[in-house]
Structures are given as structure tokens and as C-alpha cells.
Amino acid sequence: ECPHLQSGLKLWHDAATWGGVVPSPSSVITLPSNTKVLITSCSLSTAVYEKIIVPASSELIFNDAPITLNIKAMLVQGHLRIGSQNCRLYSEITITLHGAKSTADTIATFMGSKGIGVMGKIDIHGKQYHYTWTRLAATAWPGDNQIWLQDNVNWHVGQQVVVTSTDLHDEETKKNEVMTITAISGRRVQFNETFTHSHYGGVEYQAEVGLLSRRITIQGSDDSEASSFGGHVMVRGEGRFSGVRAYRMGQTNVLARYPFHFHMIGQAPTSFMRDCAVQRSYFRCVSVHGTHQASVIRNVAYDVRGHCYYLEEGIEENNTIAYNLAAHVHTIYANAIPGQTL
């Protein structure tokens, strides 16, 4: 069940895997055919990798270890495996996508740049947190540094949560608050600072509390903010994501460049996005486009531009979109292309 524990794996940092020389980050790296290559905590350079191609007959597998990959583009024709549905990884793994704002297709035709394009299969599965979001059991007042939740959770110290605003005009007042956990016991959660605003938790309705942190993060580089041009993941084969955080992702008003994008797959009963988090997205959260029978369940989204959980054409059928939280979602205003709605 654990891809990184199977036999017959070749190590990325072993020169023999590549026929004698480990490839340079500045080159376009294509995995050897019919090979399963394992990335461990000592495999990668700290440099930004230009591009990695996983051929149709090969697999790129991440170990359950602290791993950081800086990269401009990845094309997955075979299989990218970071854990599995039945073998979630507990280590901190971060993939940072780099690149200046561009309309060039550096990944593959129609797949754009600064992202991961998947023609084959992608599996990314981090530790499961339950619940991914819940509600307040009592009102939190300015000056408080703790809350009571309606449900027991397995969150832990150091993680961040968003406590949503219960004001009517959130976009103007901006009273959502992101807090860092310093102690947790059952349904009581304590933070490193006090609340600035009140968050109602009465009988009629209650503020939501969503977990933003995950063990596995896919993110745009630091310079994404200046251009609103983050990373993106486009799946045209099979895509399974659970326990993944997308941060500084999406490319504002660039067609088809979203944090998670199931694109024209057709029948996709094995594809899903579950218990993930999308934070600071420049263009939507997840788009289901020309894709049927996929599932988008128990996800948390905060600080997002444009429609968050999105059926792109309206012809998509039998998808399950359930128990997702979206907070602080902003209007984009102008269309990307005059006369065309995205």
C-alpha cells in the first residue's frame, strides 16, 4: 500500500539510476523509461529545477521524509506518487512552483507554466485531519485566546486555523482571523494571541473554524504575490489528492490555471480532492471541467479570488461536492477575455 516501501526502486541521487551522472537542476530531466525513481530527503538540490518529465512507463515516488522540491514545471505522463489512499505520509513535504508571469506552455501544450501537468496519474496523500472544519460551541470575544469547538479534532500545536467572521459584510470589514494553535485538549483550542473581533457561537448560527495547515504543501514561490501569478495543478488523467495544502496558487484571469483542476477527463470515478486546504488563491479553488463522477469533499478554502468550488461548463454530471468550507472569497470583477466568462 506504501509506494515508497516497494521493492525495485531506484534512488534519484544514485548516478547509476541515470546511467552514470545525476542530472543537473538546470536541465530538462526525463526519468528513465520503465523505472520507479524514489526521492528521499537527501536526493534533491536546493536549486530550482527547470522541468521534470515522468514518462508513461515510469513513476516518480516520494519517500515519507522531509523533502523540499523547487521547480518550474513538471509533466506527469506516468505516475507521480506521494503516498497513497491507504498509506498517508506524515512528513513535511513542500513543492514550490517558480516562474515569472507568462502565457507560454512550458509544461506541455495548453498546460501553461509554473505548475504540474498530469496526463497520467497523480496521487498526493498527507496525514488525515478530522474534522477539517467545525463550528464554535460558544462565542469568542475580543481579548479571548481560546475557543470551544462543537467537535473533537486531531489538530495539533503549531497548526493554523481560520475563525470566520460572523459579520454580514465580510469583504469590507475583514474580520476573519487566522490563529496559531499553542494548546489543544479535546474541544478546547488555545492560541498564541488574542482575538481582535468577536465571532458568534449562539443557538441560531455559529462561526466556522477551518484547519489551514497540512503536512504536504504545494505552493507558488514568494514572488507570486506581486503578479497574482501562482502555481497550478492540471489533471487530464487521474488525480487523487487528500491532506494537501495549496498556497499562493492559481493565476488570476488566466484561463484554466487553478490550484486544482480536473480538466476534460470524462468519466472520473477514481479522481477526488478530499480534506485538502486552499489558502491565498489568486484564481478559484478547484475546477471540475468536462469531468464526471469525481468527488470534492471536506475541503477548506480561505482568501480566494473567483468562484471557489467550480463546475466550469455546467454540463458536468454526477460529481459529489459536499461538506466543503469557503471563507473570504473575493470578486475578480473583469473577465480575462472580453466577452468571455471564465
Rounded percentage of the chain residues whose pLDDT exceeds 70: 97
The residue count for the chain: 342
The Cα-based distances of 103 to 4, 96, 108, 282 in angstroms read: 35, 19, 12, 16
* pLDDT value of residue 43: 98
* pLDDT surpasses 70 at 209: yes
pLDDT of residue 41 exceeding 80, the answer is yes
Please report the DSSP string for 272-307 in residue order: EEES-EEEEESS-SEEEEEEES-EEES-EEEEEES-
Residue 166: the pLDDT is 94
pLDDT of residue 342: 44
Strands (E), 92-168: 93-97, 115-118, 121-125, 133-135, 146-148, 160-163
| 309 Cβ neighbours under 8 A, 6+ residues apart | 285, 286, 296, 299, 301, 321, 324, 326
What is the mean pLDDT of the segment spanning 41-60?
98
d(CA 4, CA 162): 33
Q: Which of 128-132, 144-148, 172-176, 198-202 has the lowest mean pLDDT?
A: 172-176
Q: What is the mean pLDDT of residues 32-40?
A: 98
Average pLDDT for 155-182: 93
Q: Please check the confidence at residue 340 and state whether its pLDDT lies above 60.
A: no
Q: Is the pLDDT of residue 337 over 60?
A: no
Distance in angstroms (rounded) separating the CA atoms of residues 286 and 312: 10
Query: Taking all residues of the chain, what is their mean pLDDT, rounded to a whole number?
Result: 96
For the cut 80, the answer to whether the pLDDT of residue 334 exceeds it is: no
> In this model, does residue 260 exceed pLDDT 90?
yes
> What pLDDT is attached to residue 341?
46
Residue 223 has pLDDT above 80, yes or no: yes
Which residues 6+ apart lie within 8 Å of 109 measured at CB?
none
pLDDT at 279 over 70: yes
**Coil vs helix vs strand at 6:** coil
